[in-house]
């Protein structure tokens, strides 16, 4: 078992820290793309905190996962929505938790179906290690090694506030 802080960190405060980390490096005309569902929530929050006017993109990687045949279709599959031209853009891909790198790889594959971005960076709230692919976050707030059978889950309550929950599987 790992030693996690109790209580878990404030996810809303972590979003503010992530925005503060990104802000000095923010390129001209960036585009945010959130990975459903936690990454989409974080991307929405970053849009507000960074004062960006353009709508965020949203990606569901269900069909792009390399383990699709094993896992099947996620019961809450949502449509990918990219409301801007990806070609030549500086994209900040946003997720809540970085783990094996497979979700990030799937999101990048899908993103390239919409065009060839100039740059793709990755922003995450939590990096739990355990990489299976050579993927690293450009911007990250919390390195959290988890034990076997533990998952970190970002939730959004009725008031749209984000909070962490530790799940034992």
* pLDDT per position as a tens digit, 19-65: 999 999 999 999 999 999 899 999 999 999 999 999 999 999 987 75
Helices (H) and strands (E) in the chain, counts: 4, 7
Q: How far apart are CA 152 and CA 139, in angstroms?
A: 18
Residue boundaries of the structural domains of the chain: 11-168
Q: According to the model, what pLDDT value does residue 1 have?
A: 45
3 state SS of 159: coil
Range list of H helices, 53-155 = 68-71, 102-112
Out of 98-102, 128-132, 144-148, pick the least confident: 144-148
Q: What share of the chain is helix, strand, coil (3-state, %, to 5)?
A: 25, 30, 45
In whole numbers, what is the pLDDT of the chain averaged over residues? 91
Assess contact for 27 and 90: CB atoms under 8 A: yes
Q: How far apart are CA 147 and CA 70, in angstroms?
A: 23
CATH number for region 11-168: 3.40.50.2020
């Amino acid at each position: 078992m790992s030693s996690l802080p109790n209580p878990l960190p404030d996810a809303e405060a972590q979003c503010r820290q992530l925005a503060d980390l990104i802000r000095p490096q923010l390129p001209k005309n960036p585009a945010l793309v959130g990975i459903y569902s936690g990454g989409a929530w974080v991307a929405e929050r970053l849009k507000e905190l960074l004062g960006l006017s353009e709508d965020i993109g949203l990606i569901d990687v269900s069909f792009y996962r390399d383990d699709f045949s094993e896992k099947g279709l996620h019961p809450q599959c949502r449509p990918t929505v990219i409301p801007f031209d990806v070609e030549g853009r500086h994209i900040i891909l946003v997720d809540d938790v970085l783990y094996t790198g497979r979700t990030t790889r799937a999101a990048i594959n899908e993103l390239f179906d919409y065009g060839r971005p100039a740059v793709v960076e990755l922003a995450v709230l939590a990096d739990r290690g355990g990489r299976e692919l050579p993927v690293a976050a450009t911007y990250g707030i919390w390195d959290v090694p988890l034990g076997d059978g533990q998952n970190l889950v970002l939730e959004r309550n009725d008031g749209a506030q984000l909070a962490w929950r530790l799940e034992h599987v």
